[in-house]
């Protein structure tokens, strides 16, 4: 039931009704409400009242499901070299703790190299040395870092460059080529985000010399957003669970006020800055 809630929350981008969970699992709604009350008492779920309310999974819920649901990046010198699943920390209180994990990607060329695993949905980052590189990898942990608790507002880049749907793509080429932007938010007349102009799409158009195209015709629709007063751990959870590297930050009226990226989170942690 918790997994169904998380999946619906990620899909809808907001509070989930108990009837939607019941429909998803094909069980009685009354049973769902009873179970959600138990999950709430365990700190895995919070409820929001009102016509637009429902149930929202907490960061603790993401921790519980992380081994089954989420994958996290494995990074060496700033480059993603694979993804880790089913992470288990062994001997945490010993002199040499290890992390065992299933791996997507080939790490055989990185034996004895220092890597960063994470951030995990909980905000924890593991730093260590790969001592076994196979489908099941083993990392000797040298440091465990936790992302500090703070709001998205305190980490985001405020007032980002924005685009409009009727603009031509060529207007923004300099940001992608010269400043290495990965994405530019697309907003409507009320400054509400409606899309994301991605670098990959712009480079594709550039290769075909089609930069007269309208932004609205090539943008990614329904961009991922997060409220500015949310905890940064929620931003991490959304990035990890959705496989995205940036979120558009909105205020209480859903107007764009900033953008937060994985880099913004990582530069908050001095020890990780040294690694990457």
Fold of 1-66: Arc Repressor Mutant, subunit A (1.10.10)
Map out the domains of the chain as residue ranges.
1-66, 72-146, 152-273
The token pair that represents 24 in the structure block: 């998803």
- Under the banding of pLDDT at 50, 70 and 90, the label for residue 119 is confident
pLDDT digits (tens, 9 = 90+) for 180-204: 888 999 999 999 999 999 988 888 8
Question: What's the rounded Cα separation, in Å, for the pair 153 and 187?
Answer: 19
- The DSSP-derived string for 60-83 is HHHHHHHHHH--EEEEETTEEEEE
Question: What's the rounded Cα separation, in Å, for the pair 239 and 236?
Answer: 5
β-partners of residue 141 are 128
pLDDT digits (tens, 9 = 90+) for 222-243: 888 999 998 887 887 778 766 7
Q: State residue 276's pLDDT score.
A: 42
Measured N-to-C along each axis, helices 2-12 and 232-242 cross at an angle, to the nearest 10 degrees, of: 90
What CATH number should be reported for the domain whose range is 152-273?
A: 3.10.580.10
- Under the banding of pLDDT at 50, 70 and 90, the label for residue 156 is very high
Chain CA centroid to CA 146, Å:
16
Other Cβ atoms closer than 10 A to 193: 21
Residue with the larger pLDDT of the pair 156 and 241: 156
Q: State residue 65's pLDDT score.
A: 64
91: alpha, beta or left? (left if phi > 0; alpha if psi -120 to 50): left
Other Cβ atoms closer than 10 A to 84: 25
Closest CA relative to residue 111, chosen from 71, 140, 145: 140
Tell me if residue 128 falls in helix, strand or coil. strand
- Residue in the structure block whose two tokens are 């400043």: 179
β-partners of residue 88 are 100
Question: What's the rounded Cα separation, in Å, for the pair 82 and 212?
Answer: 37
β-partners of residue 193 are 187
Average per-residue pLDDT for the chain: 84
State the Rg of the chain over Cα. 20
Name the DSSP letter for residue 143.
E
pLDDT digits (tens, 9 = 90+) for 43-66: 788 988 877 889 998 877 766 665
pTM to 2 decimals? 0.55
Residue with the larger pLDDT of the pair 10 and 16: 16
Q: State residue 130's pLDDT score.
A: 95
């Amino acid at each position: 039931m918790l997994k169904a809630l998380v999946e619906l929350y990620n899909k809808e981008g907001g509070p989930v009704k108990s009837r939607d969970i019941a429909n998803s699992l094909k069980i009685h709604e009354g049973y769902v409400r009873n179970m959600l009350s138990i999950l709430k008492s365990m700190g895995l779920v919070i409820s929001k009242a009102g016509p637009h309310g429902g149930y929202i999974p907490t960061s603790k819920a993401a921790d519980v499901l992380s081994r089954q649901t989420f994958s996290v990046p494995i990074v060496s010198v700033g480059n993603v070299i694979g993804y880790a699943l089913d992470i288990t920390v062994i001997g945490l209180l010993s002199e040499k703790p290890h992390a065992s994990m299933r791996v997507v990607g080939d790490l055989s060329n990185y034996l004895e190299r220092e890597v960063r695993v994470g951030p995990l949905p909980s905000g924890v980052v593991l730093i260590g040395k790969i001592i076994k590189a196979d489908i099941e990898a083993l990392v000797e942990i040298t440091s465990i870092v936790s992302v500090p608790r703070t709001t998205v507002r305190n980490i985001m880049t405020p007032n980002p460059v924005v685009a409009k749907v009727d603009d031509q793509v060529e207007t923004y080429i300099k940001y992608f080529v010269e400043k290495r932007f990965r994405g530019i938010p697309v907003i409507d007349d009320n400054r509400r985000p409606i899309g994301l102009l991605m670098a990959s799409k712009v480079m594709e158009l550039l290769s075909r010399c089609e930069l007269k195209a309208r932004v609205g015709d090539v943008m990614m629709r329904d961009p991922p957003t997060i409220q500015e007063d949310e905890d940064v751990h929620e931003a991490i959870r959304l990035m990890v669970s959705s496989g995205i590297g940036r979120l558009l930050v909105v205020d209480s009226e859903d107007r764009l006020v900033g953008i937060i990226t994985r880099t913004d989170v990582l530069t908050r942690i001095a020890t990780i800055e040294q690694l990457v």
